[in-house]
Amino acid sequence: MFKKEIPIFFSIDDNYVPFFTVAAHSIMDNASKEYNYKFIILNDGLAKTSEEKLKKIEDENFKVEFVNVNEKIKSIENDLSFRLRDYYTNSIYYRIFIPSLFKNYDKALYLDADITVVDDISKLYFEDIGDNMLGVITDGVVNADERLVKYTKEVVGADEGMYFNSGILVMNLKKLREEKIEDKFVYLLGKYNFDTVAPDQDYLNFLCKGSLKYIHLGWDRMPVPDANFDDKDLHLIHYNMFQKPWKYDNVMYEEYFWKYAKKTEYYDDLMKIRTEYSDEQKKKDATAAEEMVQHALKIIDDRKSFAHVVDTKTLGGFSIK
């Protein structure tokens, strides 16, 4: 009997194999058996041992495929790297190239690997996003900070409270191809290479504005307090930014992460990371978080930013001021 295949994209390197494996187990345990699924791992060259370990998770419904993106980005690699800060690598941009790399798909999911899924992932895939380019969830961390909201409004051009997180995306690949989002991204990158706080996320918020379907917050729930959120609506936990249960104690929703971590061969390694995560490392995290906010405020005063250079009203025709 034919089963529809649901493609789920991730971008990881060798260091992130353990966290992806936890995410994968959580997805597999809760997914409907009515469909087949393919984890497509975008990378810049995984070790053979990593690929062998990831292949072990395959079962009747889930397959794993590896795609090296190096050749695709070679011509713009220096531009991609120029604005990277802190822990970012070029892999954060890979999701932008999915539409052109995978013309055999018209719809797909893109997920960050620092997640735990506690519901059927096919529900997210089958969200009706109409003719919009993306199905998205607002960013609970960014939109809770007035200073960052100011940045998203004045620099990125997002409406207040509507800035979305690019770590969980329902992608209308057909529409993204039609709108030439990759071409527009490469053009802006080469011409301006804007200073940004969240590079890929800022570009997607800017380029896809007006063609977005907002999905319930429960599909990208971050471990930050929210009095208006009811846990009965919890579908996917995203341990975004520095709130990683493998680094800190008492992270919200950490019990779900450890539940699935125990199903992997990495449980002891993950526990060791948390045990050995030093006060000095935690201090660096706190410093980095504040530096990010201060950097955002600095960019607001820079006239070379999205909102000041590109005319969003005629973005379809890609008019440059």
* Helix pair 17-30, 254-261: axis angle to 10 deg: 90
Q: Which residues pair with 320 in a beta bridge?
A: 310
Q: Which residues pair with 65 in a beta bridge?
A: 40
pLDDT tens for 245-295 read: 999 999 999 999 999 999 999 999 999 999 999 999 999 999 998 999 999
More confident residue, 266 or 78: 266
Spatial separation of the C-alpha atoms in residues 312 and 182, rounded to whole Å:
17
DSSP state of 140: T
DSSP state of 70: H
With bands split at pLDDT 50, 70 and 90, how would you rate the model's confidence at 88? very low
Q: Which residues pair with 41 in a beta bridge?
A: 10, 66
pLDDT at 192: 81
pLDDT tens for 201-224 read: 999 999 999 999 999 999 999 999
pLDDT at 316: 47
Residue 109, classified by CB atoms within 10 Å of its CB into exposed (0-12), middle (13-18) or buried (19+), is: buried
pLDDT at 258: 98
Q: What is the four-CA torsion angle of 188, 193, 195, 196, rounded to 10 degrees?
A: 50
pTM: 0.92
Domains for the chain: give ranges and CATH numbers.
Answer: 5-317 (3.90.550.10)
